[in-house]
Chains A and B, each alone.
Chain A
Amino acid sequence: MTIHTINKGFDLRLAGRPDAVFADAPEPARVCLETAAFPGIKPKVLVKEGDRVVTGQPVFLDKTDRELVWCSPVTGAVLRIDFGERRFLQRIVIENGAAKGGREQFAELSRPGGDRAAVVKAIKAAGLWPLLRQRPLGKMPHSDKVPVAIFVNGMDTAPLAADPAFAVQGRKDDLQAGVAVLEKLTTGKVYLTLRAAGDHQADLRDLKGVEVHDFAGPHPAGLVGTHISRIRPLKVTEIAYVLSLQDLARLGEWARTGRYPAKTVVALAGSAAPGRKYYRVRQSAELAVLSGGKAIAGDVRVIDGTVLSGNATAPDGHLGFHSTTVTVIPEGTDQRDLFGWALPQFGKLSFHRSVFSWLLPKKEYVLDARLNGGHRPIVNIGAWESVTPLDIHPSYLLRAIQANDIEEAVKLGLLEVTEEDVALCTFVDPCKIDVGKVIRQGLDLYEKEG
């Protein structure tokens, strides 16, 4: 065990942490599978509206890799199929029979076995390949390239994020079975990263076949980008697979039982969230099942993910494929502070010391979605550098991307980051530049240019 201590970073002290208790969310009336979460795929629908499907039955596949399918997480009837421009599949909504007391049936899935190719094929056929993401790029990997390592992230330092170690409590067998699957996928090691001196880790530290690394320090100490840079930096030609602890447990559950792992654990958090705790819930379920059946109302922003890395969804929306945290914060519509830039400001959260939140190191703050300023050109007062533990120069990387000089951007470390690794830069920037958006533009351009 090695402890890596991260010094650069910042923990947003937000109000609304989820209580460490589990609850079973009710069965959702319907689930929804979105294709937008998997950029780059060319989906082909395998079902029609009205078709009956069982849990684990493929509902669409990727035309660029026809073995790659996505499965229904419920047993029920296909309610609606939405297409966008040029009949591009956007979403499939499936009615959940279990909500009306129907019996759940499971599709027979082949379990992993044999060599790497066979295991890959089985994972794809079980609809679980999308659980994996790769570095660089931070997207679903193409299965033909063998990763030099696999990183399982057992910690999350993002504000109000669900604790992965808590979420997988009591699933040691699933996790161990998952590790066995991962070992088949890579020629290198499987790494498990944990928060140094964290809770609920007894089972995790017992796992066989993984190399455990501990990380301490403020966010982004819990991001896989930080872990890779400290444990095994990738060369330009190499890739690594990354996945969360919960996704590992889902993979293991399938490997053990041969059934589609349709249930996940999602933490409801945030100052505007009712009943903050950990919910056992169906994948892709309606959000309303976390708030007693009714959509969360009011001037709020419901985020699938954390405040640093997530997507705002409609209050009557649904969970995503990878969801582990749902954060609800006030939207802050039409709230405009008089002389906000000049007055001392005691109740506001800031990384900078010109706002006095450093005086109250224990206080938890309620943050809304306001930008608190206008967009300006880059004026770099060194804040980006003080929240970036990676060996990159964020401002130069950004300028290279903005100049469309991808070759230079790669030299400057473009492939070592994704949006989430620079999220703190965006947060602390007085010029309100969306650094992550620029990074994603750069990564997209890199992919396009090959």
Chain B
Amino acid sequence: MQFLRNLIEKQRKLYHAPDSKLHKVWPLFDAFETFLFAPDHRAGRSGVQVRDYVDLKRVMNTVIIAMLPCLLWAIWNTGAQHFHAIAVMAKAGKVTPDGYVLGWLQTVFPPDLAWDASSAWPRPFDNVVFGLQRMLPILLVSYGVGLGIEMMFSVLRKEEVSEGFLVSGMLIALIVPASIPLWQLACGVAFAVVLGKEVFGGTGMNIFNPAMMVRAFLFFAFAAQMSGDQVWVAGNQSPSGVPSHVVDGFSSPTALAIVKQATTGASDALTSVYSHADLFFGNIPGSAGEMSKLAVLLGAFWLIFTGVGSWRVMLAGVMGLLASAFLMKSVSGATTGPISLMPYEQLLCGGFLFGIVFMATDPVSSPETNTGKWIYGALIGFVTILVRTINPAYPEGTMLAILLLNAFAPGIDHFVVAANIKRRMARA
């Protein structure tokens, strides 16, 4: 360890002094150095003389730990969904072992290609290999593009590189379909980091959650690869004209798509395809993060326990969603369509739980007052249900709800703070 310190100290003089050769990229050196060793700053000599051990790096790291169950499940289930699709197609005779295209990681760890109509699926090892094969490049592109841009802006601003994107990078990987073409992802990340964050001044200054901006950009710019029934199961083929990695010809609607299209009772339509257990544990196609509600709940407990994620936002969101769903269902009296879904099934379907736990709680783009958090969370639940049930086009409303309430967050706080001022003035 001392060896590492000495090595860094030697390099430091190349960067640190204002007239040194590489001083322009000092923020990059600093970011790398403080990644390894805690910075050598000490408290000022007047006022508070000691500081808590937690810094922003650790806060961000805590959130990343909270997302690990989701990521691990995503790696597993991306593979599982893929081979499930292959199994279905193989049984129908549409794919043969000869016609199976290997991905980059599968050329190193080739999957078991000796199958016939009676073969046993799933194949645990193959699942993980395939999952890594899709998730690793997504993570790499998300972090690479995002951190690259952040570092560039840090150098331009001559500021220390902030850690905010460590969480955003992971969030992005968990809210896009595993079949997303990487160039599209790169465009989305670049757009969100530059126009969603850096133009406002970087970490701590943005109005909208950067990861949600990525998804919104992709959703509207590349609708074909972000919605519909064919994008949720990743494949290896990349047919000409379709810049995508889907299992060609395999269609697998998400739970909310089934609900949206239901012409009978939505609950029956849903449970005829996916059981409640599948929805809860995550044996379903979808964006990586929205698959397993169990994984999200594990993360939620960790966030609440460590105090990094606001339990008020989470609880208010869930209660808002359930109450709104119940109200819509009972007021409309509908027996068909998405409005007829049982309230708790609204929670089991789609990305709401992931969104309210990991994205709505973003401390920068949510209200800062405790009262504001309750209002904000509840409204996200309400708007989500509104989009899901009333809007004719979009099956899912979480993204739009969170972005909308991000925009309203300062307004909500304004009223809470105004009440505080009023109390104070009443004394005067």
Contacts from A to B (Cβ < 8 Å): 12, 233, 235-237, 301, 303, 307-312, 327, 329, 331-334, 336-342, 345, 348-355, 357, 367-383, 385-386, 391-393, 395-396, 411-413, 419, 423, 426-432, 434, 436-437
Q: B424 contacts which chain A residues (CB < 8 A)?
A: 391, 411-413
Which one of A237, A386, A429 lies within 8 Å of B52 (CB-CB)?
A: A429
In angstroms, Cα B48 to Cα A427, docked, is 7
Q: Is the CB of A341 within 8 A of B38?
A: yes
Q: Is the CB of A354 within 8 A of B56?
A: no
Q: A430 contacts which chain B residues (CB < 8 A)?
A: 52, 54-56, 58-59
Q: Is the CB of A370 within 8 A of B38?
A: yes
Q: A367 contacts which chain B residues (CB < 8 A)?
A: 50
Q: Is the CB of A233 within 8 A of B49?
A: no
Q: Is the CB of A237 within 8 A of B204?
A: no
At the interface with chain A, which of B132-140, B333-341, B351-359, B413-421? B413-421
Which one of A339, A355, A376 lies within 8 Å of B53 (CB-CB)?
A: A355
Known contacts A369-B42, A423-B48; decide if A374 and B55 are in contact (CB<8 Å): yes
Q: Is the CB of B46 within 8 A of A341?
A: no
Sample 12 A-B pairs with CB under 8 A, ordered by A number. A307-B48, A351-B52, A353-B305, A354-B61, A367-B50, A371-B41, A375-B41, A378-B204, A385-B368, A427-B51, A427-B52, A431-B56
In angstroms, Cα B43 to Cα A327, docked, is 15
In angstroms, Cα B51 to Cα A329, docked, is 13
Q: B306 contacts which chain A residues (CB < 8 A)?
A: 352-354
Known contacts A233-B427, A311-B46, A379-B203; decide if A374 and B52 are in contact (CB<8 Å): no
Query: B97 on the interface (CB 8 Å rule)?
Result: no
Which one of B41, B164, B307 lies within 8 Å of A381 (CB-CB)?
A: B307
Which 8 pairs between the two chains have the least Cβ-Cβ distance?
A: A373-B55, A377-B204, A341-B57, A312-B45, A371-B41, A348-B53, A340-B38, A336-B37
Q: A342 contacts which chain B residues (CB < 8 A)?
A: 57-58, 61
Closest to A424 in B: B48
Q: B4 contacts which chain A residues (CB < 8 A)?
A: 338
Closest to B201 in A: A377
Which one of B43, B57, B307, B420 lies within 8 Å of A383 (CB-CB)?
A: B307
Which one of A237, A332, A370, A411 lies within 8 Å of B425 (CB-CB)?
A: A411
Q: A336 contacts which chain B residues (CB < 8 A)?
A: 5, 37-40
Q: Is the CB of A349 within 8 A of B53?
A: yes
Query: B69 on the interface (CB 8 Å rule)?
Result: no
Given contacts A307-B49, A427-B50, 8 further A-B contacts (CB under 8 A): A233-B427, A309-B48, A350-B54, A376-B56, A381-B307, A381-B308, A426-B47, A436-B47
A-B CB contacts (within 8 Å), total count: 219
In angstroms, Cα B366 to Cα A287, docked, is 49
Q: Is the CB of A412 within 8 A of B417?
A: yes
Q: Is the CB of A376 within 8 A of B34?
A: no
Closest to B46 in A: A311
Q: B57 contacts which chain A residues (CB < 8 A)?
A: 341-342, 373
Closest-CB distance, B200 to chain A (whole angstroms): 11
Q: B421 contacts which chain A residues (CB < 8 A)?
A: 411-412
Query: B423 on the interface (CB 8 Å rule)?
Result: yes
Which one of A236, A334, A436 lies within 8 Å of B40 (CB-CB)?
A: A334
In angstroms, Cα B201 to Cα A434, docked, is 20
Q: Is the CB of B204 within 8 A of A373?
A: no
Known contacts A338-B1, A374-B41; decide if A393 and B54 are in contact (CB<8 Å): no
Query: B229 on the interface (CB 8 Å rule)?
Result: no
In angstroms, Cα B427 to Cα A233, docked, is 8
Known contacts A233-B427, A334-B40, A430-B55; decide if A396 and B413 are in contact (CB<8 Å): yes
Closest-CB distance, A229 to chain B (whole angstroms): 11
Q: A237 contacts which chain B residues (CB < 8 A)?
A: 428
Closest-CB distance, B377 to chain A (whole angstroms): 13
Closest to B414 in A: A396
Which one of A310, A373, A377, A392 lies within 8 Å of B203 (CB-CB)?
A: A377
In angstroms, Cα B162 to Cα A265, docked, is 46
Q: B155 contacts which chain A residues (CB < 8 A)?
A: none
In angstroms, Cα B47 to Cα A419, docked, is 7
Query: B36 on the interface (CB 8 Å rule)?
Result: yes
Q: A327 contacts which chain B residues (CB < 8 A)?
A: 49
Q: Is the CB of B52 within 8 A of A310?
A: no
Closest-CB distance, B300 to chain A (whole angstroms): 15
Give the interface centre of A310, A351, A393, A427 by most chain B CB atoms within 10 Å.
A393
Closest-CB distance, B203 to chain A (whole angstroms): 6
Give the interface centre of B38, B52, B59, B368 by most chain A CB atoms within 10 Å.
B52
Closest to A425 in B: B48
Q: Is the CB of B370 within 8 A of A373?
A: no
Q: Which B359-417 residues sit within 8 Å CB-CB of chain A? A: 363-364, 368-370, 413, 416-417
Known contacts A309-B48, A372-B38; decide if A377 and B202 are in contact (CB<8 Å): yes
In angstroms, Cα B428 to Cα A235, docked, is 5
In angstroms, Cα B364 to Cα A431, docked, is 13
Q: Is the CB of A426 within 8 A of B48?
A: yes
Q: Which B213-252 residues sit within 8 Å CB-CB of chain A? A: none
In angstroms, Cα B425 to Cα A80, docked, is 51
Query: B17 on the interface (CB 8 Å rule)?
Result: no
Q: A236 contacts which chain B residues (CB < 8 A)?
A: 428
Q: Is the CB of B55 within 8 A of A349?
A: no
